[in-house]
Amino acid sequence: MRIDVLTIFPEFFQVLDVSLLGKARQAALVDTHVHDLRDWTHDVHGTVDDAPFGGGAGMVMKADVWGAALDDVLQPGAHLVIPSPAGTRFTQGQAAELATESQLVFACGRYEGIDARVAQHYAKAGFSVSEVSLGDYVLNGGEVAAFAMIEAITRLIPGFMGNAQSIVEESHSDGLLEYPSYTRPASWRGLDVPEVLLSGHHAKIAQWRHDQQLARTRERRPDLLG
């Protein structure tokens, strides 16, 4: 998979080289390219934004600058991802879908977002375009959100994780939160590991874990149970 990131803060993505993502890069599973949006400006100030039509607070990122950049970076069949607090909610299911794409292009907007015609234009031109939000809170820009999405997506690329079972068992892959985990010592500061986990009885352990998943989800995320 090829991943391109367009941002006015390319330094932010230096962290892509470390952590788990660095491993995927070394294994040649992902080929990441970070671009400075200002490379596509033509004025001496490198202007990327302007005042909103209709008035109001903040600045809007200019369609002409984004258009020039995306025309250069989008390859045929690319999926354009625009992080935005006004987008649809990013989920584990969407991460799994995006993990199968040949090219993902993240357009990181700042300020009050990107001129709405940019998403419109590339959808009309035949690209898949997703405006996605991490959750119901506001970040300063799309960079942190893009980074989180890139991590969620790339770890699902086949061959990325050492232990495929740990992906199957983790939170959200079955619509439930993960069960609690423990390791030695069996007793710590007066707190004992649930006895069933020490029993060696695999069916009972599986049943206990499933019950814990349901109880946790009911308590912490009842919205997931519908």
Stretch that binds ligand 6GU, among 36-44, 70-78, 137-145, 155-163 (CB under 6 A): 137-145
Q: Which helix (H) or strand (E) holds 70?
A: helix 63-73
Nearer to ligand 6GU by C-beta: 74 or 134?
134
Nearer to ligand 6GU by C-beta: 141 or 213?
141
Burial class of residue 6 in the structure, from the number of CB atoms within 10 Å of its CB (0-12 exposed, 13-18 middle, 19+ buried): buried
134 is in an annotated binding site: yes
- 59 lies in the binding site for ligand 6GU (CB under 6 A): no
61: three-class secondary structure by DSSP: strand
- Residues 114-133 within binding reach of ligand 6GU (CB under 6 A): 133
135 is in an annotated binding site: yes
138 is in an annotated binding site: yes
Distance of alpha carbon 3 from alpha carbon 21, whole angstroms? 12
Residues 6+ apart with CB under 8 A from 68: 40
Q: Which helix (H) or strand (E) holds 6?
A: strand 2-7
Tokens 């690209």, located at residue: 127
56 is in an annotated binding site: no
- 139 lies in the binding site for ligand 6GU (CB under 6 A): yes
Binding mask 67-96 for ligand 6GU (x = CB under 6 A): ----------------xxx-----------
Out of 61, 129, 145, 177, which residue is the one contacting ligand 6GU (CB under 6 A)?
Answer: 145
Neighbours of 7 (CB within 10 A): 22
176 is in an annotated binding site: no
Do the beta carbons of residue 37 and residue 48 sit within 8 Å? yes
Binding residues for S-adenosyl-L-methionine: 109, 134-139
Interacting residues with ligand 6GU (CB under 6 A): 83-85, 133-135, 137-139, 141-142, 145
- Can you say which residues are annotated as belonging to the binding site? 109, 134-139
